[in-house]
Amino acid sequence: MPSINDSKCILVIGATAGIGRALAVSLKALPSSPKVIVTGRRQERLDELAKQGFETIKVDIDTDRANLKKFVDNTVRKYPELDSIIFSAGIQHEFDFTKPEEVNVDYIVSELNTNYTGIVTMITYFLPHLLKVASKGQPAFIIPITSGLGIVPGPWVPCYCATKAALHSYSISLNEQLRDTGVHVIEILPPLVESELHDHQGRTPALSKVWMTLDEFTKQTVEGLKRGDSIVASGMAAQGFEKFEKGKAEFAHGAYMNHKKLTASS
């Protein structure tokens, strides 16, 4: 089973903090010593990571498609050996729809763009490169990070949950479509984890009482990536997955096969 142990060059989008940075550090230390490229908007964080031997790219993914295309094209030109991409950049906003006049629609759009549309756009632009890499026998990996909240919504962050549910659904379909191409889709499904995600909402002190530590999460996730699991879920997210999602991917596989048969002659 191909796994992250086979990767020679890994790009982590959203690696200046939290989960992305921790995964980047752990994956760089794998015995296979892959090249690890990290991205984010904060230059000073990127400079710190550069000092630790990471390649760095400053990019804001909440942007238009021309900028995303430029980022993707420049990246594959500079790193033709790139075979794996972790999509860790994400944001979260609380919204109270009982006070609609206080709901900031710009935040809704930005959350959707950062957590879903921007990622699907980048995957679309990276795929020609990844398919080429895979056709030469090098396993390639697309690794979206969704959330347990994409399975069981948290009503205080309604739009965030919807973006993660969308990315989860897309990941299942992408995995099916790419099944025979050598490009593997591995979805990481975290529970509440120690990070900076909730800092801007002032929720970190409360949530830190119950979150999974970043060390524990990273350890479990890297183990799953090394096994080559197609879903890497941990903590409460694994429980939610077991209860509400188990069997869905297999069902989607059956539906896809039937659809192919049905439409083969049309």
Ligand X SMILES: NC(=O)c1ccc[n+]([C@@H]2O[C@H](COP(=O)([O-])OP(=O)(O)OC[C@H]3O[C@@H](n4cnc5c(N)ncnc54)[C@H](OP(=O)(O)O)[C@@H]3O)[C@@H](O)[C@H]2O)c1
Select from 197, 232, 233, 238 the one that contacts ligand X (CB under 6 A): 197
Does 40 contact ligand X by CB under 6 A?
yes
Closest to ligand X by CB, 93 or 226: 93
> Does 160 participate in catalysis according to the annotation?
yes
Does 62 contact ligand X by CB under 6 A?
yes
Does 240 contact ligand X by CB under 6 A?
no
| φ, ψ of residue 186 in degrees (nearest 5) | -120, 115
Residue in 79, 116, 160, 170 annotated catalytic: 160
Does 147 contact ligand X by CB under 6 A?
yes
Does 235 contact ligand X by CB under 6 A?
no
Burial 162-179 (b: 16+ CB within 10 A, else e): bbbbbbbebbbebbeebe
Closest to ligand X by CB, 137 or 202: 202
Which among 39-47, 97-105, 129-137, 169-177 is the span making contact with ligand X, rule CB under 6 A? 39-47
Minimum gap (Å) between residue 126 Cβ and ligand X:
15
Does 145 contact ligand X by CB under 6 A?
yes
Which among 15-23, 73-81, 173-181, 257-265 is the span making contact with ligand X, rule CB under 6 A? 15-23
Minimum gap (Å) between residue 193 Cβ and ligand X:
4
Does 111 contact ligand X by CB under 6 A?
no
Select from 196, 215, 223, 242 the one that contacts ligand X (CB under 6 A): 196
Q: Give the 3-state secondary structure of the chain.
A: CCCHHHCCEEEEECCCCHHHHHHHHHHHCCCCCCEEEEEECCHHHHHHHHHCCCEEEECCCCCCHHHHHHHHHHHHHHCCCCCEEEECCCCCCCCCCCCHHHCCHHHHHHHHHHHHHHHHHHHHHHHHHHHHHHHCCCCEEEEEECCHHHCCCCCCCHHHHHHHHHHHHHHHHHHHHCCCCCEEECEEECCCECCCCCHHHCCHHHHCCCCECHHHHHHHHHHHHHHCCCEEECHHHHHHHHHHCCCHHHHHHHHHHHHHHHHCCC
Select from 56, 138, 195, 234 the one that contacts ligand X (CB under 6 A): 195
Closest to ligand X by CB, 48 or 60: 60
Q: Which parts of this chain interact with ligand X (CB under 6 A)?
A: 14-20, 40-42, 45, 59-62, 88-91, 114, 145, 147, 190, 192-193, 195-197
Query: What residues are labeled active site?
Result: 160
